[in-house]
């Protein structure tokens, strides 16, 4: 059968970027690289897994319920979030991971000719969703590995709709303290939507780190993202949420896809959010293994970036893609950072000690 060309149907902006290609499943990777074990240090997953109460939900889930649609708007989870944060349930929207809630906001406020503003070296999905939706993404260079507030403000024009701030930033771990964030919001003065992505906020213990949700009453144009994928170990269930003023969330709700969050994810998240012991144990593991990495990377004479979050960036004297292949052959999977515009860097997720030891031993061999 003759192939039919479809190029005439494709918008120009779709042709200007490549599809994201996820890594293959672990069994396929082990076979490809000839390794019997594989430490996944590439996706910032929690090595402790979900909290105990969430595990029980997963273990006891009746198979018959798989035939029943979930709550279309995550009703009980929104009730729980409202109880925890002292807000109205309708101020929360739950999505199928952070990627979906990012889309909700962009679709709600942007139209042809509009732009969003964010950093050039941050979580890439803000940029991707804007660009593949036909909107301009204005990317401001980081300053000392952190978001540059002044440069972001200078990029604003009459078609700027949303400013995205990742706090703390993935992949550098830097953050804006409360004074800096409030100063930025004061200067925006409600003219644009400001999104603060707090995917890694539970890992931060610094006294000056701002709680974005606590600022909502003061800044009605503020939208905060949070996730159950990182600290709460539910990445495989894909569940995140946004919270904002009722007026703003009611606008975003119009673009919200209902029934996209499965029943298991909703019920596991309800039980995960109260588990303070899980947060404490994860923080202790992350702190101990960061200290180990800092010591060992120093011995190797490598430059590295260790700040907040459950990840570390390391600069290598070889290409990151070559390092990836060589480490994979030893059963250690890292994230190459050229795609984040950090060539020759790799990002490592903090994991259990045996994984960190294997990573260091692997680095010694390839260097």
- pLDDT digit string, tens, across residues 106-145: 999 999 999 999 999 999 999 999 999 999 999 999 999 9
Q: Are residues 195 and 289 in the same domain?
A: no
The model's pTM is 0.94
Q: Three-state SS for 347?
A: strand
Q: Which of 251, 272, 293 is the last residue of a domain?
A: 272
Q: How far is residue 40 from each of residues 25, 173, 265, 328, 332, measured CA to CA in Å?
A: 11, 19, 22, 10, 7
Question: Does the residue 317 lie in any domain?
Answer: yes
Whether 96 and 128 share a structural domain: yes
Query: Domain total for the chain?
Result: 2
- Which segment of 22-26, 107-111, 289-293, 348-352 scores lowest on mean pLDDT? 22-26
Cis peptide bond prior to 168, omega within 30° of 0: yes
Whether residue 250 is found in the same domain as residue 289 = no
Q: Where is the domain boundary, 272, 300, 320?
A: 272
Query: Does 185 fall in a domain?
Result: yes
> How confident is the model at residue 241, as a pLDDT?
98
| 68 shares its domain with 150 | yes
For residues 284 and 261, state if they share a domain.
Answer: no
Same domain for 225 and 356: no
Confidence of residue 9 (pLDDT cuts 50, 70, 90): confident
Verify that 307 and 164 share a domain, yes or no.
no
The answer to whether position 4 is within a domain reads: no
Q: Are 324 and 302 contained in the same domain?
A: yes
Domain assignment of residue 12, yes or no: no
**Is residue 205 located within the same domain as residue 97?**
yes
Which CATH number goes with the domain that contains 264? 3.40.640.10
221 plus 237 within the same structural domain: yes
Q: Is 80 exceeded by the pLDDT of residue 1?
A: no
pLDDT band at residue 41 under the 50/70/90 scheme:
very high
Which residues make Cβ contacts (< 8 Å) with residue 210, sequence separation at least 6? 167, 176, 177, 178, 181, 182
Residues 93 and 146 in one domain: yes
Confidence of residue 45 (pLDDT cuts 50, 70, 90): very high
Tell whether the model's pLDDT for residue 14 goes beyond 90.
no
Q: Contact, 51 vs 363, CB < 8 A?
A: no
Binning pLDDT at 50, 70 and 90, where does residue 99 land? confident
- Does residue 16 belong to any structural domain of this protein? no
Q: Is the pLDDT of residue 91 over 70?
A: yes
Q: Which range marks the domain in which residue 359 is found?
A: 21-49+276-366
* DSSP reduced 3-state for 329: coil
pLDDT in tens, 276-296: 999 999 999 999 999 999 999
Mean pLDDT of the chain: 95
With a cut of 70, say whether residue 209 has pLDDT above it.
Answer: yes
Looking at the domain assignment, is residue 114 inside a domain? yes
- Which tokens in the block code for residue 133? 């939706």
pLDDT of the residue at 3? 63
* 2 located within any domain: no
Is 301's pLDDT higher than 90? yes
Answer with the one of 230, 245, 272 that is the final residue of a domain: 272
Please tell me the predicted confidence (pLDDT) of residue 2: 62
Residues 350 and 300 both lie in one domain: yes
**pLDDT at position 220 over 80:** yes
230-288, pLDDT tens digit by residue?
999 999 999 999 999 999 999 999 999 899 999 999 999 999 999 999 999 999 999 99
Query: What's the CATH number where 32 sits?
Result: 3.90.1150.10
Residue 15 counted as domain residue: no
Residue (of 289, 313, 320) closest to 47 by Cα position: 289
* Residue 4 confidence (pLDDT) above 70: no
Write out pLDDT tens, residues 142-178.
999 999 999 999 999 999 999 999 999 999 999 999 9
């Amino acid at each position: 059968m003759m192939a039919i060309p479809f190029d005439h149907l494709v918008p120009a902006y779709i042709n200007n970027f490549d599809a994201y290609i996820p890594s293959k499943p672990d069994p396929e990777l082990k076979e490809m690289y000839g390794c019997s074990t594989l430490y996944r240090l590439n996706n910032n997953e929690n090595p402790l897994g979900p909290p105990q109460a969430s595990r029980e939900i997963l273990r006891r889930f009746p198979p018959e319920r798989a035939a029943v649609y979930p709550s279309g708007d995550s009703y009980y989870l929104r009730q729980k979030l409202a109880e925890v944060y002292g807000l109205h349930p309708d101020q929360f929207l739950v999505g199928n991971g952070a990627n979906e809630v990012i889309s909700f906001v962009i679709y709600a406020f942007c139209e042809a000719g509009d732009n969003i503003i964010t950093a050039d070296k941050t979580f890439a999905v803000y940029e991707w969703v804007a660009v593949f939706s036909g909107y301009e993404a204005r990317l401001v260079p980081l300053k000392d590995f952190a978001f540059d507030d002044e440069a972001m403000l200078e990029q604003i024009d009459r078609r700027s709709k949303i400013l995205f701030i990742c706090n703390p930033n993935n992949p550098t771990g830097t953050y804006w303290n409360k004074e800096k964030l409030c100063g930025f919001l004061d200067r925006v003065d409600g003219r644009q939507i400001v999104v603060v992505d707090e995917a890694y906020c539970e890992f931060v213990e610094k006294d000056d780190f701002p709680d974005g949700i606590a600022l909502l009453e003061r800044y009605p144009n503020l939208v905060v993202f949070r996730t159950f994928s990182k600290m709460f170990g539910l990445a495989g269930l894909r569940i995140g949420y946004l919270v904002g003023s009722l007026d703003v969330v009611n606008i975003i709700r119009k673009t919200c896809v209902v029934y996209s969050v499965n029943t298991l994810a909703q019920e596991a998240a309800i039980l995960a959010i109260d588990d303070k012991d899980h947060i404490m144990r994860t923080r202790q593991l992350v702190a101990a293994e960061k200290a180990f990495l800092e010591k060992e990377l120093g011995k190797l004479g490598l430059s590295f970036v260790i700040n907040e979050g459950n990840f570390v960036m390391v600069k290598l004297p070889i290409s990151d893609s070559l390092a990836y292949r060589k480490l994979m052959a030893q059963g250690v999977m890292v994230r190459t950072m050229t795609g984040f515009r950090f060539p020759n860097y790799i990002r490592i997720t903090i994991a259990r000690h045996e994984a960190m030891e294997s990573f260091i031993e692997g680095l010694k061999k390839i260097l």
